[in-house]
Each structure stands twice: as structure tokens, then as C-alpha cells.
Amino acid sequence: MKQQLYIYNSLSKKKELFIPINEGFVGMYVCGPTVYSNVHLGNCRTFLSFDLVFRYLQHLGYKVRYVRNITDAGHLENDADYGEDRIAKKARLEQLEPMEVVQRYTVDFHTIMAKFNALPPSIEPTATGHIIEQIELIKKIIDEGYAYEVNGSVYFNVHAYNKKHHYGVLSGRNLDDMIANTRELEGQTDKKNPQDFALWKKAEPQHIMRWPSPWSDGFPGWHLECTAMSTKYLGEHFDIHGGGMDLKFPHHECEIAQAEACNHQAPVNYWMHANMLKLNGKKMAKSTGNNILPNELFSGNNSILSKAYSPSVAKFFMFQAHYRSILDVSDEALTASEKGFNKLLQAIREIDNLKASEKSSVSVSEWKQSCYDAMNDDFNSPVLIAQLFEGVKIINAVKEEKQTLTQQAIETLKDTMNAFIFDVLGLKDNDEECTTDNKALTQAVNLLIEMRNKARADKDFATGDKIRDELLSAGIQLKDGKDGTTFSVL
Ligand code: AMP
Ligand code: ZN
């Protein structure tokens, strides 16, 4: 069955039929994390959205080269061209080598992605491993007349570029509006125009992350690394570039300008942007502290959570929203997702017990195509999940002998459910290896809750209170609600 995949292209602002540059092959680049702290659940949502894209493309039979970088230098505070490097700042505060910071949070990122059962990318290059490529790119941009050097730093000349190209093509902005809305900021005095952005920055004496270059001992600008690494591994023109919505401007806009300046062609056919995960109605962010860490979710150790949730439940919750929609995380929504996910797993286990009939009374192949239709419509995972619940209805109806299926239809039903739930959505029916501790803890605390309930029923309030207080002193808080008692790890 040949599938026609449509992708929403942020550049054209339309859904477009996906036609790869080389038939059967896909080149995809996704901006990776800046490894100066633990990834929060918002970061994870973006990476899991692209894991879904990667998995579905592979499921359709494409050979995908998926490049996702690690930003380990050049990303300054406030995403600006001045201020401290985020990694250097963390190193200074924690009295570590910058590369110790990078190592610690790269390992954390990999561990979390593995817990979420996200597939590793084909190539995971680092900014510091590609300084030479970045210097070569700057030389090329200078030669093309789109960059200038001032006091050892090199800036991209947005005004010169905009004379021949449209700076703002991705984010729908135009330079005149940008000029009207820009105020001069301290520390930007080297630039010819405030809209210009740094390709190379001369390092101040105290800046420890520095490399030699023709212009100064310094470091590359943040936007440059992605152009250098995507070009190196995917070529000057590749299929898909992804990242979070907040990277559209200036980061991706600058990537387009750098690549066009060097290669005289648009670098990417399909730009994809994943929307933000919110907490308390605000964007989840490392810098503001408004975030949940994945491990807090897996242990239940966060004040907004009444319990622990497995990585698959968290993923299922995220995939119940489309990747281009804003999603608000809450304990109630996670609990509802857990219920739904368990229902799905329960139904899958029932398939092997279904009795085959001579004839099918429902069309499994039509249902199967509707699962593909959902994913072919810009990776619409909530519609896919709704279709999987249609599959659950079929399973239950056959079980209750209200519908019939042939043996072959039962096989198709089973294969399709398994393919979409486990291969495409990348969910697991037991997250044993990372939740063993939580499961043991949950069982033990639930036993104590039962004992407390019994004590209270027997009017032995002293024992009931002792259980509650002892648990609290061990960092476990009980909460009595109308549906019973839950607990959270403090
Ligand atoms: P960073 O490590 O800050 O460079 O971010 C890594 C990725 O996470 C980028 O693609 C961001 O766009 C994305 N991101 C950051 N915050 C959120 C959020 N609240 N929800 C979804 N994605 C996010
Ligand atoms: Zn990037």
C-alpha cells in the first residue's frame, strides 16, 4: 500500500505532499539540546515529536538519515549575541570544566531519551567538534559579501543579504518592521546594524571556551553550528529541518540566511516546528524554573503530581495532542491518559483470544487505512489514537460476539495495532527497567494506605495517623480525596 504523506511546511504555511529529494531516502536535521542543564518535559515533547516523525518515515520504508546536534558552545544567555555562554556560566557557578557540564547533561539527555524509548539519531554531531567547518563557512560568507569583521568578531550583514533575499521568509517578518521595532542594546556597538547577528565572537579574557580563528581567539555564533553540521552530513539541500516553534526566529531564519548566502539555494524543503508544552499556562522553560523534569514525572516527585507516571503514559499524553498544538500538562490530564493507555494495552492482550469466523462483519482493511490516513495528514497522532480506540471497539465487539472477523482479519488487526502502538508511537507495554523502583514503592505505599484505611475503619486513629506521619517523615505525603487516598513523593 503506497502512502501519500502530507507535511505542514512552516515555510509555505501549507500542508504539502512529501516528495523526498532522492526517492526512498530522507535527510532530516533537528536542532538538539543546549547541554547546560537537565532537559525538561517541554524539551522532551519536541524531541519526541520528531522521534514520531523519524519512526513513521522509517515505517513507510524510507531510509532516513536523522541528524540531531548537541549544542555545547556558542549559545549565549537570552539567545543573544552578548552575555555569557550558557555552558561556561554553569561551569563557573558549579566550579566545573565546561566539558564536564557538557558531559553531565549530554548523558542525562541520552538517559531520558532512552527511558522515553526514543530512537537515537543516525548522527549526533557537536558544535565544538565542528569548529573548523564553522570557520570555513564564515570565510565563504565573507567572500560572498554578506559578513564583515569588526575587532576580531564577524557579523552577518542582514541588510546586505536582504537586498537580494528575504530575511524573514520563514517567520513572516520583514526587515523594515524589525528595524522599526529594534532598540539599541548595550554590548552591540560593534555591529553595523542591530539586526546583524554574530558568526564569530572574539572571546573576552575571562571567556574560557575559545578557539583560534583567522579573526581572533573566540567562539562561533549559535546559529552557525546548525548550518555547518546540516550541510556537512545532509548536503546543501536536504528534505526536513525541525525544531521547537521558539527556534523559528531568529535561529532558523539565520540558518536559512547563512545557507543561502553560501550555497545560493534554499537549504531545506520542509520546515517543521513543534509547539510548546506549557505548565500553569506558561511555556515550560529551563531559565524561568517553570518546568517539570522527566524524572520527577517518573517518580511522582513534583507538587503538581499526585502520583508517578511511566514514560509511555507521558508520551501517550503528549501524542493525544497534535505536535503543532500547544499542550498544557496537568495531573488530571496525565491520569486520564494513563486510563486510556491501559485500555489500549488491555485490548491488545485480548486479540489472541478472539475466535475467528468464516466471514468478517467489519472491514479491518478500511480501519487500517484510516490509521495511515491520520499519520499521512501531517503526523496527526491524536486522530491516530482515536482510530486505535476504534480498533479497541472492534476487538470488544468480536469478543462479545456482536461482530465477526476472519483469522486473516484478526491477524491484520493485531499487526496494525502493534505496528502503530509500539513501532510508530514508540510506546511500551511495560516500562520495567526505569520504573521498577517506582512500582515497588507504589506497591509498598499502597499496602500502607490499605492498613491505614483498615485502622481508621476500626476506629484505631492512632495507628492511622502514625502511618501517615511516618510516611511524611520519609518524604511521602498522603492525600485523601473522594476517590480514595493517593500519595506523592516530596
Ligand atoms: P534548548 O536546549 O533550549 O536549545 O531547547 C531544545 C529544544 O527544546 C528546542 O527545539 C526548543 O525549541 C525546545 N523547547 C524548549 N522549550 C520547550 C517547551 N516548553 N515545549 C516544547 N519544546 C520546547
Ligand atoms: Zn539549530
Ligand 1, atom 6: closest residue by C-alpha: 33
Ligand nearest to the CA of 243: 1
Q: How does residue 80 score in pLDDT terms, banded at 50, 70 and 90?
A: confident
Q: How does residue 486 score in pLDDT terms, banded at 50, 70 and 90?
A: confident
Q: What is the mean pLDDT of residues 313-336?
A: 97
Ligand nearest to the CA of 49: 1
User: Residue 351 corresponds to which cell in the numbers above?
Assistant: 486479540
DSSP strand pairing (268-274 vs 238-244): parallel
Average pLDDT, rounded, for the chain: 93
**Is any ligand 1 atom within 6 A of the Cβ of residue 283?**
yes
- Residue 67, by phi and psi: left (phi above 0), alpha (psi -120 to 50) or beta? beta
Handedness of CA 441, 445, 450, 451 (dihedral sign): positive
- Name the class of domain 278-431: mainly alpha
Q: How does residue 34 score in pLDDT terms, banded at 50, 70 and 90?
A: very high
DSSP conformation class of 76: B
Is pLDDT of 448 > 70? yes
User: Residue 288 corresponds to which cell in the numbers above?
Assistant: 524561568
What distance in Å separates the CA atoms of residue 254 and residue 250, rounded to the nearest whole number?
6
**Is any ligand 1 atom within 6 A of the Cβ of residue 456?**
no
Q: What is the mean pLDDT of residues 404-418?
A: 98
Q: Which residues surround ligand 2, an ion (CB under 5 A)?
A: 31, 226
The CATH number of domain 14-274, selected from 3.40.1210.10, 3.40.50.620, 3.40.50.300, 3.40.980.10: 3.40.50.620
**What's the 244 CA to ligand 1 centre distance in angstroms?**
5
Q: What is the mean pLDDT of residues 62-91?
A: 88
User: Residue 206 corresponds to which cell in the numbers above?
Assistant: 575571562
Instruction: Name 200's bridge partners.
Output: 154, 220
CB 359 within 8 A of CB 310: no
CB atoms within 10 A of CB 173: 17
Average the pLDDT over each of 130-139, 383-392, 445-454, 458-467 and give the range with the smallest value: 445-454
Find all residues with CB under 8 Å of 385, minimum gap 6, and list them. 316, 319, 320, 340, 425
Q: What Cα–Cα distance (Å) separates residue 389 from each residue in 73, 253, 321, 323, 332?
A: 45, 40, 15, 20, 20
CA 56 to chain centre: 15
Q: What is the mean pLDDT of residues 266-278?
A: 98
Q: Give percent helix, percent strand, percent coil of the chain, each to the nearest 5.
A: 50, 15, 35
Find all residues with CB under 8 Å of 111, minimum gap 6, and list them. none
Residue 190 confidence (pLDDT): 87
User: Residue 208 corresponds to which cell in the numbers above?
Assistant: 574560557
Is pLDDT of 436 > 50? no
What distance in Å separates the CA atoms of residue 233 and residue 123, rounded to the nearest whole number?
8
Which amino acid, residue 11? L
CB 162 within 8 A of CB 175: yes
- 349 vs 80: which has the higher pLDDT: 349
DSSP 23-75: TTEEEEEE---BTTS---HHHHHHHHHHHHHHHHHHHTT-EEEEEE-BB-SS-
Q: What is the mean pLDDT of residues 442-463?
A: 89
Residue 253 confidence (pLDDT): 97
Ligand nearest to the CA of 31: 2
Residue 185 confidence (pLDDT): 58
**Is any ligand 1 atom within 6 A of the Cβ of residue 195?**
no
**Is any ligand 1 atom within 6 A of the Cβ of residue 279?**
no
Is pLDDT of 482 > 70? no
User: Residue 345 corresponds to which cell in the numbers above?
Assistant: 494495552
**Closest C-alpha to 422, from 354, 488, 345:** 345
pLDDT, one tens digit per residue, over 341-363 is: 999 999 999 999 999 999 999 99
What phi, psi does 200 have (nearest 5°)?
Answer: -145, 135
User: Residue 300 corresponds to which cell in the numbers above?
Assistant: 511522582
Q: How many angstroms separate the first and last alpha carbons of the chain?
A: 51
**What's the 388 CA to ligand 2 centre distance in angstroms?**
34
What's the longest Cα–Cα distance across the chain? 85
Is pLDDT of 144 > 60? yes
**Is any ligand 1 atom within 6 A of the Cβ of residue 246?**
yes
Instruction: Name 480's bridge partners.
Output: 485
Q: What ligand 1 atom has the least distance to the C-alpha of 46?
A: 22
Residue 433 confidence (pLDDT): 42
Residue 490 confidence (pLDDT): 65
Q: What is the mean pLDDT of residues 209-213?
A: 95
- 436 vs 461: which has the higher pLDDT: 461
Q: Which of 35, 38, 43, 271 to mutate to test the pocket of ligand 1 (most atoms within 8 A of CB)?
A: 43
Q: How does residue 188 score in pLDDT terms, banded at 50, 70 and 90?
A: low
In percent, the amount of the chain with pLDDT more than 90 equals 80
Residue 44 confidence (pLDDT): 98
